[in-house]
Amino acid sequence: MPVILKDGSVYEVSDGTTWIDVAAGLSRKLAKEALAARVDGNLKDLNLPARPQEKVEFLTFADQEGQAVYRHTSAHLLAQAVKRIFPGAKLAIGPAIADGFYYDFDVEHPFTTEDLALIEKEMNKIKKADFPIVRQELSHEEAIALFEEQSEPYKVELIRELPADSQVSIYKQGEFVDLCLGPHLPSTGKIGVFKLLSVAGAYWKGSEENKMLQRIYGTSFPKKKALDEYLEHLEEAKRRDHRKLGQELDLYGIAEEGPGFPFFYPKGMVVRTELEDFWRSEHRKGGYLEIKSPVVLSRDLWERSGHWDHYKENMYFLKIDEQDFAVKPMNCPGAMIYYKTRVHSYRELPLRIAELGLVHRHERSGVLHGLMRVRCFTQDDAHIFMLPEQITDEIIGVMEMIDHFYRTFGFSYRVELSTKPEKAMGSDEIWDMAISALKKALEMKDIPYRINEGDGAFYGPKIDFHLQDSLGRSWQCGTIQLDFVNPENFDLTYISDDGSKKRPVMIHRVVFGSIERFLGILTEHYGGAFPIWLAPVQVKVLTVASRHAEYAAEIAHLLEQEGIRVEVDDRNERVGYKIREGEVEKVPYLLVLGDQEVDSQMVSVRKRGTGDQGSLPLQKFVTQIKEEINQKS
């Protein structure tokens, strides 16, 4: 019986051979490492039988989808262990997630750290038992009856949401059974090592109207070394947490009186202002004009833009003079209002309009997270109004700007092209045209990209930029959205070369995404040790004794005159203590002043990360530091 391998070659097997048998026939190593099979493009369990002419590719832990199968099975291991220790626990859902898995439980007992250790111990017992993991398909009615008998109301609810004539798949391992699409590993013994990480609350189906469940997070790996490295990675991430560093470095915070509404302190405002100044400078070079639109605009505007129908649940509303208004969740309608303030000629296009606009979006309290998930933030928006024949050049121009920004901060990135979502405005023809234009620009720049089906904006497809930080984490920040729909909705026109009115095309784009979130990402990326051009304090002057205070003040004044941000520490403390404090504050340069420095009119320089640099004349130090600031190094 022929099956077709990934490379297109034909491999003959006997009738009744399973996919794990095929893997074993190809290589003992492959049989050991294979986690699932991709058969004719669909993921399948390894213990399913092969069929003639099917094309197979075996997935291992090196594949992202292989990791998902591995960790989904780990979630079932967790659920089985919890049911053994807490038989009254009700099962909700337990998917694989990036770098791990979780399972949600409805149980009266609040899970503790001690419980996690007990659950891990039970998971190890289940692993050692090496239960076969068996898929079974039931009718809709049979599945409901099974989970009603097992008193699993959440599973019953999920099944009832399926069509009545659908087949329902379940997976069994030992005494445990779960509703699941699969696929899974062949047996529980295939899981290597795992660690339960934390417990959190989670609403059923993510809705605050539903019951709060308990969610246990965990991770798993084939080898202990990989797990240990990941746990160390988590510890490093905790040390770099922007919420922790934001407080320690006195940059920003969230007050109880404003959940989700960040406060920026003086030092945080320095970093923020430097980011905004850099943004403005680069946009001026790129031919952008800056505007500022109102935070509150009428309901009529949001209905016209489509936000009222597609985004209403995330908006804040108010009444003014008995009329409905909304706090803006996006800046784009303001840019279109500006465009309509006068008649435009084709000669003016492309017209590039930029705005650092404050927007507000309603986020559930459970998902708020420092600066990363907030209820108000400043989008570094720009909207480009252009002729159809200018689309490709403008998209390329934006891509080049985004590349320049990210490389300035030391980020690498990957690109995704997101296509038409289920709920979208505009015809298929318009969407196809817009998607083709984005593809053309990406291919002209020879940028590799992945297709993200159905994740476009409701008014157009988009290119998303996922940057990678120093810990290897991915963050979606920049985006380029191509829009043929809103120029129609807002009746935007230009006078063409033949004197007729025609519709422009729009690009919506951001580089940072939001100033707040990008600042949080930067804080963690640098571990709070901002490059000198962003550092809130660039130089700290430290005195050895009180008699050196006058020279310290003189040095600080000269540095301030050169535009360098400086602080003086002339407290009556040991200089070693002051140096350690300056290092904890992550100041790029410390200047230590004692008798020798006063007598020679020099400065003793300590550089962050490298230590003592010896003594320099002040002017030479100023020249060096200004060059470093200008290079944004």
pLDDT per residue over 77-122, tens digit each? 999 999 999 999 999 999 999 899 999 999 999 999 999 999 999 9
pLDDT surpassing 80 at residue 139: yes
Task: State the pLDDT at residue 174.
Answer: 96
For the ranges 426-440, 445-459, 471-485, 494-508, the maximum mean pLDDT occurs at 494-508
| From 307, 508, 586, 606, the catalytic residue | 508
pLDDT surpassing 90 at residue 260: yes
Task: State the pLDDT at residue 501.
Answer: 96
C-alpha closest to that of 359 among 240, 260, 226, 271: 260
Angle between helices 549-561 and 618-630 (to 10 degrees): 40
| From 127, 383, 540, 548, the catalytic residue | 383
| From 45, 115, 178, 381, the catalytic residue | 381
pLDDT surpassing 80 at residue 64: yes
Burial 523-533 (b: 16+ CB within 10 A, else e): bbbbbbbbbbb
Task: State the pLDDT at residue 344.
Answer: 96
Dist CA 139 CA 472 (whole Å): 44
Task: State the pLDDT at residue 618.
Answer: 93
Dist CA 345 CA 165 (whole Å): 59
Percent of the chain with pLDDT over 70: 100
Dist CA 132 CA 295 (whole Å): 59
332 is catalytic: yes
| From 283, 361, 375, 420, the catalytic residue | 361
pTM of the predicted structure, to 2 decimals:
0.84
| From 84, 267, 462, 565, the catalytic residue | 462
310 is catalytic: no
383 is catalytic: yes
| Residue 457 burial class via C-beta count within 10 angstroms: exposed 0-12, middle 13-18, buried 19 and up | buried
- Rounded mean pLDDT of the chain? 93
228 is catalytic: no
| From 332, 469, 525, 570, the catalytic residue | 332
| From 80, 173, 379, 538, the catalytic residue | 379
462 is catalytic: yes
381 is catalytic: yes
